[in-house]
Amino acid sequence: MKKLCMALLGLMSAFHGVSQVRGRILETGSKKDTTAIPGVILFWENTSINSVTNENGVFILQTSPETNRLVIRATGYDPDTLIIKDTTRFITLVLKSGINLSEVDVVYETTGTELSYMNPIKVETLNERSLMKAACCNLSESFETNPSVDVNFADAVTGTKQIQMLGLSGQYAQITKENMPYLRGLANGYGLSFIPGTWIQSIQLSKGAGSVVNGYESFTGQINTELQNPETSDRLNFNTYMNENARNEYNLNLKHRFNDKFAVGILSHASFNPLVQDLNKDGFADIPIGKQYNIMNKYSYNSGKGFEAQFGGAYLQDERKGGMFRSTVSSDTVPLYGIEIRNTKWELYSKTGYVFKKKPGTSMGLQLSYLNHEQQNLYGLHRYSGLQKTFYANYIFQGIIKSTNNTYKLGASYMNDVVDESYRYFNFSRDERVAGAFAELAHNRGEQFNVVGGLRADYHNYYGLFFTPRLHMRYALKGNKTVFRISGGRALKTANVFGENMAYMASSRDWVINSSDLNLPYGLKPEIGWNYGFNFTQKMKLNYRDAYVTVDLYRTDFVQQVVADLDANTQQVVFYNLNGPSFSNTAQAEFGWEIRKRLHVKTAYRYVDTKVSYNSGLMQKPFVSMHRAFLNLAYETRNRHWLFDATLQYNGKKRLPKTLSNPIEYQRAAYSPDFYNVLAQVTYATKFGRSDFNIYLGVENALNYKQPNPVVASDAPFSKYFDASMVWGPIYGRMLYAGLRFKIK
């Protein structure tokens, strides 16, 4: 029988525990009215995992670690097998009366962000609907409509955006691409802009300690980006975008299936920023000009006998120029302060796996990747040069103990980072080699209780042997509508002093590194911390419609930390090892509800208390809002042709580094003001046969709020007072944008 589609989920998964597929089965009659079908039998192919639809056509089916091929049997229809691409979303199977099941339509119903209820690790999945709510030109802009991650400008001249999670900057979150290390080393500065939004299939966001399977570096959580897969992606996906600053982007994704075993995909991107604008008249371009070329080639193979493989490669070239231009200054005699940033990166990867069909629940996989990243930057008179070569290998074996209620993962990993950097009078080279082994055990007691415990042992050529324990527990009341989770774990990472602090290069600050051991990278000890977390999630019905409440409480405690001190001297940034307490406490409450049919609201409030022991004492970490609130409204018309989204963000005041030693005209307040930010977008969607066509129009920073005087001493860029890193708010004002999407299924 003709199958609807052929697609397989990747073998590897960063998250564990029992999960379920929820959905319903409807029948469409000749008059296009729909009725629920009770008594339909569903089961995963070659397994005993099954379910039956109730009187409302609704089913709940436990997922299978072995397959995503779903067999359905309904009275009056021939049995058929469907490929379920995404088990995290509620699905509707629509049958047409009087014909075979080969005419089933699979419809994924989603609000954009899905919360896990069965997983002991709280996971938020941002799918394609969420990414369509805003421009989402790249990964750094994909969190604009999510209350758990803050997006801010890193400085006033490079246009770079950075994220914060649980009150700490993005380097403390383990950011992976398809469950393999991504944002590390040189990529910390600009790497979030290297993944185009159209390439992203989904983003999985988990707070707190992650799984030991993925390494030892997760302090505040994990952000994993799944890219479009040749197995499941559209045959053609074209997207173009242009904004008020003349930024224009072009994305083209193609896929071709040679046969039922082998498929290939190409992801391509080109973007250009040609326009120099200085709307605040400070002599500096508000957004740098530049261009980016980015291409990835992916291959997927499934033998049909248990062996699967994904492999490919990518190449990126990113150039941007900022600072002062002749068109932004009033006199030809003024020396120009220039910014130039050039990134060249290529990578190769493979993921192979084997499922033992004679041993249910047993599989193994191997991840391999190699990265070469070169960066050449100019900040005024100072140059930064960096070269990183990284090899990564991770082997995972998964099995069960007596039943699927007890599963385990064993494995080993190896990481080799070779990094050479020079900046001003500094020259640093390091060759990190880390070999490790891990074990993780998951136990499920029905659907009410889950626990996942893991332990890593790693040997680092600089830091010696260290251990990484992690624990996640989940308890649910009957019906799984009330869920409690707790988590805890240890993390360690090497501080990438230059890559993680490039924003301070856009200043005249002298860099001072107070080394404690010259045999260590940068002469500084590794960063070590513990994270503890609690989550409460309640699912409910309000006015007969779905709603939820979730509360997160997390604390990150640093045992060792590399402190970047901007307060010791206004003309310096000083790096040294922590001497005293350093912590971040975060409390967040979130509420979501479908107020009316197809009208969804999501609102959240977060309190953050992040403090660091500086040489001058315990102080609030700069550039972190203590209070933040969020409101998102999303509406779709009945025919799903029009989609409306609006987001309101409240950003509380932030502590700013001290500037009292500067001349009065170059001083800044001790705290920034609080401010609001509004994003909105309207999309028109239609279909032509098996093609989708969307046109969208949106606005960022609709209130036109801008930070006044973002560049300190903009009139004297080569003086010791110049500083473009004192950024706490939007640099560019209101930004209109438009674009279109075209897909062929």
264-275 pLDDT, tens per residue?
999 999 999 999
Provide the pLDDT confidence category of residue 30 given band limits of 50, 70 and 90: very low
Domain contains 724 = yes
Domain span at 59: 20-113
pLDDT by residue (tens digit) across 553-564? 999 999 999 999
pLDDT by residue (tens digit) across 222-242? 999 999 989 888 899 999 999
Residue 226 corresponds to which tokens in the numbers above? 């799944």
On whether both 543 and 684 belong to a single domain, the answer is yes
CB 436 within 8 A of CB 413: yes
On whether both 544 and 685 belong to a single domain, the answer is yes
On whether both 493 and 522 belong to a single domain, the answer is yes
The pLDDT of residue 605 is above 90: yes
**Helix boundaries (H) for 149-291:** 187-190
More confident residue, 94 or 513: 513
Provide the pLDDT confidence category of residue 109 given band limits of 50, 70 and 90: low
pLDDT score, position 548: 94
pLDDT score, position 28: 64
- Say which range, 16-30, 44-58, 602-616, has the weakest mean pLDDT: 16-30
pLDDT by residue (tens digit) across 309-341? 999 999 999 999 999 998 888 777 778 999 999
Domain contains 2 = no
User: End of a domain among 58, 92, 113?
Assistant: 113
pLDDT by residue (tens digit) across 636-691? 998 889 999 999 999 999 999 999 999 999 999 999 999 999 999 999 999 888 88
Domain contains 660 = yes
Provide the pLDDT confidence category of residue 47 given band limits of 50, 70 and 90: confident
On whether both 436 and 481 belong to a single domain, the answer is yes
Residue 427 burial class via C-beta count within 10 angstroms: exposed 0-12, middle 13-18, buried 19 and up: exposed
Q: Express as a percent the part of the chain with pLDDT over 70.
A: 92
Domain contains 94 = yes
pLDDT score, position 712: 95
The pLDDT of residue 13 is above 50: no
In sequence order, the 6+-apart residues with CB closer than 8 A to the CB of 223 are 149, 165, 173, 174, 175, 176, 203, 204, 205
Domain contains 632 = yes
Q: Express as a percent the part of the chain with pLDDT over 90.
A: 63
User: End of a domain among 113, 143, 163?
Assistant: 113
Distance CA 163, CA 146 (A): 12
Closest CA to 406 of 362, 364, 365, 436: 362
CATH number at residue 99: 2.60.40.1120
pLDDT by residue (tens digit) across 337-379? 999 999 999 999 999 999 887 787 889 999 999 999 999 999 9
Domain contains 427 = yes
pLDDT score, position 88: 64
More confident residue, 528 or 81: 528
pLDDT score, position 107: 52
**Buried residues in 350-364 as b, exposed as e (16+ CB within 10 A):** ebbbbbeeeebbbbb
On whether both 180 and 107 belong to a single domain, the answer is no
Instruction: Give the number of other Cβ atoms within 10 Å of residue 444's Cβ.
Output: 21
pLDDT score, position 645: 94
On whether both 144 and 160 belong to a single domain, the answer is yes
Distance CA 531, CA 474 (A): 17
pLDDT score, position 151: 87
pLDDT score, position 440: 95
User: End of a domain among 82, 113, 144?
Assistant: 113
Mean pLDDT of 618-634: 95
The pLDDT of residue 583 is above 50: yes
On whether both 581 and 512 belong to a single domain, the answer is yes
The pTM of this model reads 0.84
**How many domains is the chain built from?**
2
Domain contains 738 = yes
Closest CA to 489 of 444, 527, 453, 443: 453
pLDDT by residue (tens digit) across 182-231? 988 899 889 889 999 899 988 999 998 889 999 999 999 999 999 998 98
On whether both 445 and 341 belong to a single domain, the answer is yes
Distance CA 17, CA 34 (A): 35
On whether both 359 and 303 belong to a single domain, the answer is yes
On whether both 170 and 295 belong to a single domain, the answer is yes
Domain contains 5 = no
On whether both 62 and 132 belong to a single domain, the answer is no
CATH number at residue 327: 2.40.170.20
Mean pLDDT (the chain) is 88
On whether both 72 and 149 belong to a single domain, the answer is no
Distance CA 271, CA 251 (A): 9
